[in-house]
Amino acid sequence: MEQFWENEFVLTAAYFSVVILCIVVFLAIFELVTKYNNWEEIKNGNVAVAMATGGKIFGIANVFRHSIMHNDHLLVMVGWGLFGFFLLIIAYFIFEFLTPKFKVDDEIQNNNIAVGLISMILSIGLSYIIGASIS
């Protein structure tokens, strides 16, 4: 059985499956944190929500990328991914706190593309910082 888990195809499929599951769970948590329904807004053509959500997906995936590259065990990889997600959630609240003149959620829900773009870039940029700290 050990030889089975050492096969590169099996490892890739395992990492892929676990990361997809984590992304789905983490996006569901983000859905609870935001005031709007991400997928309903995206379905209605809200580009700002699509950009912010895309940034979150990229950010989570990038954290997992670094975690996979620097960890030999699936559970350690998931632990780092969970920690990275936690840091991205904290960054989301800090972004909301640092913009007292407007509410980030309201602006994104109102399709303010500038706020959606900044939210996307923050998620992506911070994921590189988190990823670099994993290595």
For 59-105, write each residue's pLDDT tens digit: 999 999 999 998 778 888 899 999 999 999 999 999 989 998 999 99
∠ CA 83-48-132, nearest 5°, is 30
Quote the CA–CA distance of 69 and 134 in Å, as a whole number. Answer: 9
How many domains is the chain built from? 1
pLDDT of residue 60: 95
Quote the CA–CA distance of 108 and 111 in Å, as a whole number. Answer: 5
Range of the structural domain that residue 97 is part of: 2-134
- Six token digits for residue 20: 């997809």
